[in-house]
A and B are shown apart, each in its own frame.
Chain A
Amino acid sequence: MTAAAVATGEHLFWLTSRAAGIVALLASSASVGLGLLMAGRMLRRRGLDLRSLHEALSLAAMAAIVVHAGALVFDGYVNLSVAGVTIPFLGDYRPLWTSLGIACGWALIALGLSYYWRARIGVARWRALHRWTALVWVLSIAHALGEGTDAGRLWFLASLAIVVVPAAVLLGLRHAPPTPTPTQR
């Protein structure tokens, strides 16, 4: 086995974490974008399909978040504990960005899974709660750009822009103050 293969083999869990983190970011961005399209009633496809796609993308993002954090526990190089990847401000490596990522991960999972308890929470309360997903998504992008190993790479920024920019525009439109319609005389 060559030295490069040995060294790369040592970082398999780290590579897993990086790849899963990017999948989580892309899936959550697509899900947020689709959710905003649905909320703004900008798509005319069957509601069930859109909601199912939104839900499936959210579940994929949640699974990727679990892999993203879990793989770091098994990486012998960064040597993080389970507590280090699940409790904010416990690890030594870039505590602010890492803690932001941990908080965003928990928040996205909690907000995503709250969908299945919306009857118990109350639909109106759940809707109000669900709107916080957009803020958590923005903060998770900050985590990726601030701490991500590939954050400076053109391919990463380009692939991120493809899903983030449309969702960000939709988010801006949703929160923009309504323009006054001209009154007829």
Chain B
Amino acid sequence: MTPSSPHPALAARRARVRRLRARVAAGAIALFLALFAGLYVQMATGHDPALGAGSAQVATTSTTTTTDDSSQQDATPMTTAAS
């Protein structure tokens, strides 16, 4: 047996570990994409906990309230978070 070809049992074990890692990585990516999509929809429909009444309203009001600088500071998305 050459040094480059490991014992079949060891090779099988490594393959099993690789499969397991790939499954966990795929699961984590799938979970991330599902969460991202859910949060995106939540924000787009105006149900985001931080932006409250809707991101569209934040986008429009930020262009109309240009005279009051102090009120614009409250437009930061996380200032009303986790209530």
Contact mask for chain B residues 10-53; partner A; CB cutoff 8 A; 1 contact, 0 none: 00010011001101110110011001100110011110111100
Residue pair A15, B39 in contact (C-beta under 8 Å): yes
Residue pair B16, A49 in contact (C-beta under 8 Å): yes
* Residue tally, chain A, CB below 8 Å to B: 43
* Any A CB within 8 A of the CB of B76: yes
Residue pair B50, A60 in contact (C-beta under 8 Å): no
Question: Once bound together, how far apart are the Cα atoms of A57 and B21, in whole Å?
Answer: 8
Chain A contacts with B in 3-21, Cβ cutoff 8 A:
3-8, 10-11, 14-16, 18-20
Residue pair A4, B82 in contact (C-beta under 8 Å): no
B82 contact set on A, CB distance < 8 A? 145-152
Given contacts A3-B60, A23-B31, A64-B28, contact A48 B78 (CB under 8 A): no
A53: shortest Cβ distance to chain B, in Å? 6
What is the predominant secondary structure among interface residues of chain B facing chain A?
Answer: helix
Residue pair B56, A3 in contact (C-beta under 8 Å): yes
* Residue tally, chain B, CB below 8 Å to A: 36
Given contacts A4-B55, A11-B77, A153-B49, contact A60 B36 (CB under 8 A): no
Residues of A within 8 A of B (CB): 2-8, 10-11, 14-16, 18-20, 22-23, 26-27, 48-49, 52-53, 55-57, 59-60, 63-64, 67, 77-78, 93, 145-153
Residues of B within 8 A of A (CB): 13, 16-17, 20-21, 23-25, 27-28, 31-32, 35-36, 39-40, 43-46, 48-51, 54-56, 58-60, 76-78, 81-83
